Amino acid sequence: MNRVPVSSSSIKSIGHDPQSSTLEIEFEDGNTYQYFDVPQAVHAELMQAASQGKFFSSQIKGHYRYAKA
């Protein structure tokens, strides 16, 4: 999955596969996680958020199944 670098203190890059609705986030600590069943609209909101870290914490973390990639 192709990820796009983002300007965030906690997130290094973000990718999304619309066919599988999988969101992939690479964190600044080097860990990468995949979040499942994430709609394209949520990915778009994440990418446009003023703070991607805050959006992740409030809208994604704890809301979607995930696995370490």
For the chain, domain boundaries: 4-68
Rounded Cα–Cα distance for residues 69 and 49 (Å): 24
| 1, pLDDT greater than 90 | no
Q: Could you tell me how far CA 26 lies from the centroid of its own chain?
A: 8
Hey, what amino acid is at 46?
L
Would you say how long the chain is, in residues? 69
Q: What's the pLDDT tens digit per position in 43-66?
A: 999 999 999 999 999 999 999 999
Tell me the whole-structure pTM to 2 decimals. Answer: 0.95
Residues contacting 9, CB < 8 A, separation 6+:
28, 53
Q: What's the pLDDT tens digit per position in 6-42?
A: 999 999 999 999 999 999 999 999 999 999 999 999 9
33: closest CA among 60, 6, 5? 60
- Token pair belonging to 41: 């609209």
